Amino acid sequence: MPILHGLSLSYFTGKLEAYMRAKGLGYRFREMDMAAFRRAARATGIAQMPQLEYPDGTWLSDTTPIIRHFEEMGEGPAFSPADPVTRFLSLALEDYGDEWLWRPALYYRWAFDEDARLMSSQIARTMLRDLSLPFALRRQFILRRQRKVFLKEDGVNAQTAPAIEALYKRTLAEMDGLLQTRPFLLGARPCEADFGFFGSMFRHFSHDPTPAALMREKAPYVFAWVARLWAYRPEDAEGTVLPEGIPDGLEGLMADFRDEYLPYLAANSAAFERGARDLRYEAAGTSWALPVNPYRVHCLAALAAAYQALSAGEKAQLEPLLHEGARILTEHKGKVPNAPAANAKPADRQWR
């Protein structure tokens, strides 16, 4: 049985745990400390969490390729639609949920004093427990570090904060409307899309005090979906089928994917290809100054490849949801070497 190394308050750890529980894949959870974090980084060549360690010495890392790896193996219920159009939507929303909700998740955790005090205390007690420093210093260290990296260095300031808050509240409204009509985002069974949104919605938005209060008040169906997906087991898939075609009600989420996320990915990719370290662009009246993100260069390349592999008829079905986004996906020609795989060797690990 593999060991899942992570943190009990971690965005991507919660995502992978939910997937493995739903899939019926056994694992032993081990709370990381700094020594374990460094050991995992040496094994895989990348300092991130979660990471899966198998008894034979194999390591798996990066939740998106890990899910792809297990879906391709075919064990347990399938969570990847067979229909190409539906599968593209599921993969697009998985990537969007993973990457575009990262900023609001970290913003709500570290920009608000109550949330920041609580979460810095928890990290000081868990991940930093093996540092020989007083608790107060460990807590202060993590608080300053997280605010520097995830707020100041990720474009969060007084001018951009309203747009970040609006994204979270809009996402809650869009998801709540969908989840009033069906148990999961695309239908009766969870798909990659659900697990992509789950990371932020579970360990951040439904747990941290400020966003959790908003979720309880504004989006009770989202709150119920969080619990439903965490409780999901393989037997719950019996008698359900994966969706085929385009489900009703996706216009709101896909508008954010099309109008905000894809233009950002295109600007980030162009800056990366120029060799730039920083990115400046404007979206919906908000000016952003961000570091170039190499991992998201891969995200756009993967989305473009998936879209370009569709037939003309399948692309036509997606046109009402993609509009200008279809042009970005069609015209993107950027190639990224050594795209991440769940079990890539350390030399291939250059993404996070």
Q: Are residues 231 and 286 in the same domain?
A: no
Residues 147 and 66 in one domain: no
Residues 341 and 217 occupy one common structural domain: no
Distance CA 106, CA 203 (A): 11
Query: Considering the domain boundaries, does residue 207 fall inside one?
Result: yes
Query: Does 8 fall in a domain?
Result: yes
Task: Read off the pLDDT of residues 102-121 as tens digits, 9 standing for 90 and up.
Answer: 999 999 999 999 999 999 99
Looking at the structure, do residues 125 and 49 belong to the same domain, yes or no? no
Q: How many domains does the chain have?
A: 3
| pLDDT tens readout for residues 126-167 | 999 999 999 999 999 999 999 999 999 999 999 999 999 999
Task: Note whether residue 85 is domain-resident.
Answer: no
Residue 303 in contact with residue 96, Cβ under 8 Å? no
Are 192 and 233 members of one domain? yes
| Residue 107 domain flag | yes
Q: Is pTM, for the whole model, over 0.85? A: yes
Query: Do you find a cis peptide bond into 220, omega within 30 degrees of 0?
Result: no
> Within a domain: residue 133?
yes
**Three-state DSSP class for 104?**
helix
Task: Give the domain extent around 37.
Answer: 3-73
Task: Tell me: do 107 and 39 sit in the same domain.
Answer: no
Same domain, 137 and 223: yes
- Whether 96 is covered by a domain: the verdict is no
Same domain, 22 and 141: no
Report yes or no on 268 lying in a domain. yes
Where is 20: in which H helix or E strand? helix 11-23
Rounded distance between C-alpha atoms, residue 246 and residue 258, angstroms: 16
Distance (Å, rounded) from C-alpha 6 to C-alpha 15? 11
Residues 7 and 122 in one domain: no
- CATH assignment at residue 29: 3.40.30.10
Residue 257 CB: number of other CB atoms within 10 A? Answer: 23
189 falls within a domain: yes
Number of H helices, E strands in the chain: 16, 6
Same domain for 25 and 137, yes or no, is no
110 and 230 both lie in a single domain: yes
Q: What is the mean pLDDT of each run of 10 residues along the chain (352 residues)?
A: 96 98 97 95 93 95 95 94 97 97 97 97 96 95 96 94 97 98 97 98 98 98 98 97 95 96 95 94 87 95 96 97 95 64 40 28
| pLDDT tens string 189-228 | 999 999 999 999 999 999 999 999 999 999 999 999 999 9
